Amino acid sequence: MLLYFGRIHVIVFSTTDAGRDVVKMHDRELASHLRSKIYEKLFYNGRNMASASYGEYWRQLKSVSVLHIFFRNKMVRFFGDIREEVM
């Protein structure tokens, strides 16, 4: 389903498999997005992982987050208890 939010086009998928296929095939297009002045103010001019355009800077941010923040053994153990409680 295609929705329009002003000038922004939003695609809604009915299944996770369809969404996963699109993300795999079009990851660069999804990582690069339009910029505006309000966007730059809110997201520190694209200097964080969520708003950075695909490229060398984004890859460095991803590497730092994966290696040093999200997947440290201490963090994995900490969230492991929470995952067991939820299940």
What's the whole-number mean pLDDT along residues 19-42?
A: 73
What's the whole-number mean pLDDT along residues 22-47?
A: 72
Q: Is the pTM of this model over 0.85?
A: no
Burial class (CB in 10 A: 0-12, 13-18, 19+), 22: middle
Residue 10 has pLDDT above 70, yes or no: yes
pLDDT (tens digit per residue) in 49-76: 767 777 888 888 888 877 777 666 777 7
- Residue 52: per-residue pLDDT: 76
Residue 9: left (phi > 0), alpha (psi -120 to 50), or beta? beta
Question: Phi/psi at 2 (nearest 5 deg)?
Answer: -110, 125
Find where tokens 């992982």 sit. Answer: 49
Within 10 angstroms of residue 51's Cβ, the number of other Cβ atoms is 17
Structure-token pair, residue 70: 């999200």
30-39 long-range contacts (CB < 8 A, ≥24 apart) are: 31/58
